[in-house]
């Protein structure tokens, strides 16, 4: 009979004993964050073979992940939480070395906004995860898919399906052809849309620049942004691209009130820092795995499609 996987298999996953009722975040390295403030997870346990429960805490105020009026958690907070949960499990339950590079391939997030209100204390969601389709190379895991059921108390607030792969640092360097955060020069950041047009409070958090076309924008990539670029990167991070999707939907609603509640994004290739990225949104009813969506957002560099995302709004 297979035994449940244990999370504390990596030295960094060993936590200090703390008095009952106290909460601390997991080691930031296990979720690929440099800032403890951006580390959302507080622990986890295995419940069965390839089944886990991960715990998190959500702040009541945040530059990006809480609405400007501080009344609601943003769907992208769910996305970042389940991303971190997968990274934590890869390192602690599947023995992926810390120096390996992760690639987010696909993410499907469905949220229930009526259960994402900010309360009088930080929310403490529980994420129930089932890992499937573990890709093995040379007998070692090289990627997986997982499903996440996100609950606050007894309420289901979101579900997610994620696909990710990883590779050693040496292989990654070969794949990137010498491109590193130190050798790639990002393009100058163009002026952005008005923050109110994309549901943001600060100009620094606007990731779209106008082009003169109502449904097409240029991506603004500010590598000094403390959340999107929590640490130096050689490419545009997936969470910034997902934020671009969110803002594109908001911007094309003219009054900024069309709210994205679900995303299904597929990443086709790296978005390079030294090439312009163009973002386009169109009304399109989804079919097949995209059923239930009503807007499609596409990101391109040159003739290549970087990502495609189907969005459901309310």
Report the mean per-residue pLDDT for the chain.
90
Q: How far apart are CA 306 and CA 246, in angstroms?
A: 16
pLDDT at site 8:
52
Residue 3's pLDDT band, with cuts at 50, 70 and 90, is very low
Architecture of domain 11-175: Roll (3.10)
Is the sign of the CA dihedral 262, 290, 213, 211 positive or negative?
Answer: positive
Q: Which residue spans of the chain are classified as CATH 3.10.129.10?
A: 11-175, 195-313
Architecture of domain 195-313: Roll (3.10)
* Mean pLDDT calculated for residue range 253-271: 84
Global confidence as pTM: 0.91
- Considering only CA atoms, which of 310, 190, 195, 308 is closest in space to residue 251? 195
Statement: residue 9 has pLDDT above 80: no
- Considering only CA atoms, which of 108, 124, 112 is closest in space to residue 160? 108
pLDDT tens string 14-65: 444 455 666 789 999 999 999 999 999 999 999 888 999 999 999 999 999 9
- Tell me the DSSP string of 98-148: TTPEEEEEEEEEEE-GGG-B--SS-B--EEEEEEEEEEEETTEEEEEEEEE
pLDDT tens string 116-145: 999 999 999 999 999 988 999 888 999 999
pLDDT tens string 171-207: 999 999 989 999 999 999 999 999 999 999 999 999 9
């Amino acid at each position: 009979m297979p035994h449940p996987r244990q999370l504390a298999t990596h030295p960094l996953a060993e936590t200090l004993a703390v008095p009952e009722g106290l909460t601390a975040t997991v080691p930031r390295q296990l979720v690929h964050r440099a800032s403890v403030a951006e580390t959302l997870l507080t622990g986890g346990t295995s419940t069965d073979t390839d089944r886990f429960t991960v715990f998190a805490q959500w702040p009541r105020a945040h530059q990006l992940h809480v609405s400007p009026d501080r009344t609601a958690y943003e769907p992208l907070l769910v996305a970042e939480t389940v991303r971190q949960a997968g990274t934590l499990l890869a390192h602690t339950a599947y023995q992926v070395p810390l120096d390996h590079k992760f690639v987010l391939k696909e993410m499907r997030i469905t949220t229930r906004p009526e259960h994402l209100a900010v309360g009088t204390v930080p929310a403490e969601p529980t994420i129930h995860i089932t890992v499937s389709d573990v890709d093995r190379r040379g007998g070692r895991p090289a990627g997986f898919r997982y499903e996440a059921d996100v609950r606050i108390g007894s309420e289901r607030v979101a579900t997610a399906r994620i696909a990710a792969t990883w590779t050693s640092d040496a292989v990654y360097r070969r794949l990137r052809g010498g491109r590193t955060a130190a050798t790639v020069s990002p393009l100058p950041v163009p002026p952005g849309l008005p923050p109110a047009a994309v549901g943001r409070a600060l100009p620094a958090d606007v990731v779209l620049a106008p082009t003169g076309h109502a449904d097409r924008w240029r991506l603004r990539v500010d590598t000094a942004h403390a959340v999107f670029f929590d640490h130096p990167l050689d490419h545009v991070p997936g969470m910034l691209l997902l934020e671009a999707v969110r803002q594109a939907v908001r911007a094309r609603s003219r009054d900024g009130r069309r709210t994205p509640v679900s995303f299904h994004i597929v990443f086709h290739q790296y978005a390079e820092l030294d090439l312009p990225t163009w973002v386009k949104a169109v009304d399109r009813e989804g079919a097949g795995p995209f059923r239930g969506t009503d807007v499609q957002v596409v990101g391109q560099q040159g003739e290549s499609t970087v990502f495609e995302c189907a969005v459901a709004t309310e």
